Every structure is written in structure tokens, then in C-alpha cells.
Amino acid sequence: MSNAVEAGSKQEFILEMRNIVKEFPGVKALAGVNLSVRPGTVHALMGENGAGKSTLMKCLFGIYHPNEGEIFFNGQRVQFQNSKQALDNGVSMVHQELNQVRQRNIMDNIWLGRYPHKGPFIDENKMYEDTKRIFDELEIEVDPRSKVNTLSVSQMQMVEIAKAVSYDSKIIVMDEPTSSLTEKEVNHLFKIINKLRDRNVAIIYISHKMEEILKISDEVTIMRDGQWISTEHARDLTMDLIIKMMVGRDLSNRFPEKVNKPGKVILEVNNLVAQTQPSLKDISFDLREGEILGVAGLVGAKRTELIESLFGMRKIESGKITLHGKEISNKSPQKAMQNGFALVTEERRVTGIFDRLPISFNSIIANVDSYINKFGILSDKNIEKDTQWVIDSMRVKTPSQKTYIGKLSGGNQQKVIIGRWLLTKPEILMLDEPTRGIDVGAKFEIYQLMNELAKEGKGIIMVSSEMPELLGVTDRILVMSNGRLAGIVETRNTSQEEIMRLSAMYL
């Protein structure tokens, strides 16, 4: 498809990236990509995981240096040597994986490296006032003195956006900014974006949520396999057209045909009460062999806390867990794993991957004892064999087993994590937001994988904030509301309206 947005003079664009090439050992991540962004617009950047979106933005932000190509910012040729230089020149980036100093307060995180001083001392009052001013302007209702580790993921996201605004940036890159936000919080974010657009700030918006893209964007650039495919006015696009350009083929069905047939009950949870803030109260449900059970609810419903309690990460105060008719006690994750449980966590960057270690290490770490041979040392041959199984069966795109997992796209990282847990041969696989920040093609592959695992008889519990995903993938949906079970519905007989009504039952 030809470029539908006509090229203009240099003054028309605040940013021009021309013929950007970036190579890593064994892979060409970007192959002559062009991107032109106008001031005061929201320019969406779309593509499957591995398409090169984040790599292109890291080239802009000084994290990577292109092998070829030119970058023009405000009409001047630039090549930022590091992220500090980019920030000092008016380019900010809100990363998908939040990298914050969680033991420090919000003010420290926003002004780190540029504290205001009064003489030789840090001016805490000015720092508070400046932070409060930005928060008031953006309508963020959080105390700037709060520690980051007390915030929800959505609040941490808002803090990062406030930090970008604090640099008085002319361009703000937002990488999957709504992946952890509720609908209400998304609307708040869009309000902030519109304010920034009115100030003539350019927003580069990376997202896989096509409904959002069509709602908030002015222009859309689509990439595939490290190449520029097309730049279009958002008003000229449809969801089907975007998908076709992203994946290079028609993807008429967002969800695979269900092939699993739930059988006998394998897991029973009765009157579970667990230590959370506030606590989980009197939760009872069952899970069948070969069933995909969804867990729905609003932010704060304690969905994550439920599966963490089942996995031994939180203390269970009372109640009973029965597996195959036998009562079990998952007092720790190690005990849960021995009992056949596996958990893919929501925050893969924080609790899922060892980003500066290779795929091989990340594949076998949950099951490392099984690779120790009779001499008491790790068997490289068995590690290599099982790592290759993960790569092949999960369809992981990587140059080699030795590639650092942090170099892979989010979707491929997630596939490695799922493969890791499958190597432990679990009976109960729990997935917390398994497709968060993953493109439509990779999502389809993970849905297929879940289907296949359920067909093999595994019981799957999936927490998701995406209603279409829950309705398209699961057999039943357990709805949480403020730490309580609000109801369990048959997926084929329910609706978004019923699930939302149940989600609000105990608010």
C-alpha cells in the first residue's frame, strides 16, 4: 500500500526518521524504516511483536544507535548518544515495562538526577510543589510523597507519564500505555493526551488495541518484520485493514475454534480466605479437566491475589484446596509446583524473566533440579534439548538459544515463560494477563496454545482485563468483586453487561 500521508517540508514535521537500519547479531531488526511525525498530533505505531516498533523508538531515544539512516528533530539532524541527552532535548519515552525505583517515593522517581537544590541541600518543598502542580494539571490523585511500591500498576503508569511531562517534552513516546488500565483510567489518559496535543506536543503511541488507535490517533504507521508498510490517516482505516497490513494476511477470526471438551472436576476450592489487603473472602469454585476458566473483575477485585494464594505466594487463613479428591496445602510456590501448579505472572519484566540471561536459562530455571546429572552437575545436553523444545513448540522467534531474553519482543518473552512452566509438566496452569502488551498475531498463537493444552486435559485458569478475550477463549468465567466471588457464568450464555454487573456487586 502506498503512503497515504503526503510528505511535506521539513518544517511540517517535528520528527523525521529516514531509512533507519538496525542490526543485531544474526538478525536485521530494522530495514530502512521511515517515520514522519507532525507536531500537535497523535501518531500511532503499530505492528506485531518483533515488527521493530520499540527498536525504532529506542534508536530515537538514544538507547540504540542505528547502523544506517538519519534522524531530524525540529529540522536539525540529531543522534542522541543516550537517553539523558534525548530527555534534555525534549524527547521523552514512557516504556511498556516500568523501570522505577520502587523503594523510593514518587517525587524521587520523577526528579531523579535533576533534584532542585537550595544551597547544598535538596529542596524537598519545591520538589513536592512541582510534582503536585503537574499532578493537579493532569488530574492525578496520588500523594507525591507516597512510595512507588504502594501504588497500583495503573498509578505507576500515570507517574511515568507525569515524569515525561515534567521534562517539557516536544515528543512523548508512549509504549503500550493502557496495558494495565481500566476503561475509566484509559479515558483519563486520553484526556491527558488531548491536553498535550493542544499544547502542540507530538505523541507517538504504540499499542495493539485497535479500538484505541482508531479513537485517539491522527495518523498511523504500520510496520512488519522490521520494515515500513504504510502510513495512513486514522480516519481512513478499519480494524480489518490494520490487521491485514500488520500480519500480511487476513485474520478474520480473532480467536481460534475451541477444540477442548471439559471433563471431570480436578480442582476444588472451598471457602478460601487469604491474607491480602483487603482479604479474599469465602471463595469457592471448581476447575474441570480440559477447561479454561476465566477470572474477570475490575482493578482491585483481587483476581491476581486469588491465583497467587493458590500458588502459595500468599498465606491462606482458612478454607480447603482439593486436587483429584485429595486435600493439598500449597504453603509455598515450591510446594505448589510439587503439587502440579504453575503460574505465569502479570509483570513479566519484574517477576517473569531474567532479562540479561539467555533463553536457555529462562527456559529451564523453574525445573533446574531435573537437569542435574549423576555427577551433580548440570547436563548441557538436556538443557539444550528442552530449550529447543520451548523455542519450537512455542514458535519463539530468536537467533539462538544464547540470545538474552531481554532482546526479544514481549510476545516472544511470554512464549518462553509459558514454555518454561510447561517443562514442569503442570496439571493446573494459571495465567495472569497472558496477552498483555502482545500483538494480535501473537495473541492468536497463545490462544491456540491454551486450546491445545486444554485439549490435552490440563486445567487452565486465566486472569484477563480484556472482555473480548474472556468471552472468546474461556469455557466459564469466575467474576471477582472487591475480594469476593460475585458469580460464575457459562461463557456461551453470558454477556459483557452481565460480567460488568457482577464485577460491581460488592463495590
Peptide bond into 120 cis (omega under 30): no
pTM, full prediction:
0.62
C-alpha cell at 364: 529451564
CA distance 93 to 348: 20
CA distance 387 to 361: 8
The amino acid at 424: T
What pLDDT score was predicted for residue 506? 85
What pLDDT score was predicted for residue 6? 42
Backbone φ/ψ region at 18: left (φ over 0), alpha (ψ -120 to 50), beta: beta
The amino acid at 210: M
- Cβ(296)–Cβ(464) under 8 Å? yes
Residue 103 φ/ψ, nearest 5 degrees: -85, -10
- Cβ(201)–Cβ(173) under 8 Å? no
Give the number of residues written for the chain: 507
Backbone φ/ψ region at 411: left (φ over 0), alpha (ψ -120 to 50), beta: alpha
C-alpha cell at 249: 494476511
Closest of 74, 44, 40, 15 to residue 195, by C-alpha = 40
CA distance 230 to 19: 14
What pLDDT score was predicted for residue 1? 41
Closest of 101, 225, 224, 205 to residue 161, by C-alpha = 205
Q: What does the radius of gyration of the chain's CA atoms come to, in whole angstroms? A: 24
CA distance 471 to 495: 8
Residue 233 φ/ψ, nearest 5 degrees: -70, 135
- Cβ(383)–Cβ(359) under 8 Å? no
Exposed, middle or buried, 335 (CB in 10 Å: 0-12/13-18/19+)? middle
Low-confidence ranges of the chain (pLDDT < 50): 1-10
Tally of helices (H runs) and strands (E runs) in the chain: 16, 22
First-to-final CA distance of the chain: 49
CA distance 278 to 104: 24
What DSSP string runs through 273-315? Answer: EE-SSS-EEEEEEEEETT-EEEEE--TTS-HHHHHHHHTTSS-
C-alpha cell at 40: 500537535
CA distance 144 to 106: 5
CA distance 339 to 341: 6
CA distance 356 to 344: 19
What pLDDT score was predicted for residue 252? 57
CA distance 385 to 491: 39
- Angle (nearest 5°) at CA 336 between 332 and 337: 120
What pLDDT score was predicted for residue 128? 94
Q: Across-strand partners of 172?
A: 92, 203
CB atoms within 10 A of CB 377: 9
What pLDDT score was predicted for residue 2? 39
- 457: which residues sit within 8 A by CB, 6+ positions away? 263, 289, 290
Exposed, middle or buried, 328 (CB in 10 Å: 0-12/13-18/19+)? middle
Exposed, middle or buried, 490 (CB in 10 Å: 0-12/13-18/19+)? exposed
Q: Which residue has cell 491465583?
A: 307
CA distance 343 to 421: 7
Residue 161 Cα to chain centre, angstroms = 16
CA distance 356 to 369: 22
All structural domains of the chain, each given as residue ranges with its CATH number in brackets, are 10-247 (3.40.50.300), 259-340+428-438+459-507 (3.40.50.300), 347-425 (no CATH)
